[in-house]
Amino acid sequence: MLAEFGMSSVLSILSHLLFIGLAWWALQAINYEKFLRPNRVTQARLLLIFVAIMLGTAVSNFFLDYINWAQQIPYILE
């Protein structure tokens, strides 16, 4: 039971980090300079980090929920 809980925690951490990294990579394709004030590079980078964390966490939670739901489907037939 505890090993299963530990593996779930490790999977969640790795999933969140993976999807945050993918969100950061995807956000690099956006030309956001048009929307920001001049000479605000540090604030723009911080904003991109926060957006990547929010987007990556949301996508990761979706996939983790999907995995949990898929594992619970056999219990419907009991």
List, for residues 31-78, the tens digit of each pLDDT value.
887 888 888 888 989 999 999 999 999 999 999 999 999 999 988 887
Within 10 Å of residue 14's Cβ, how many Cβ atoms?
11
Give CA angle at 63 (15, 9), nearest 5°: 45
List, for residues 35-48, the tens digit of each pLDDT value.
888 888 889 899 99
Q: How far is CA 3 from each of CA 9, 22, 29, 40, 74, rounded to the nearest angstrom?
A: 10, 28, 40, 47, 22
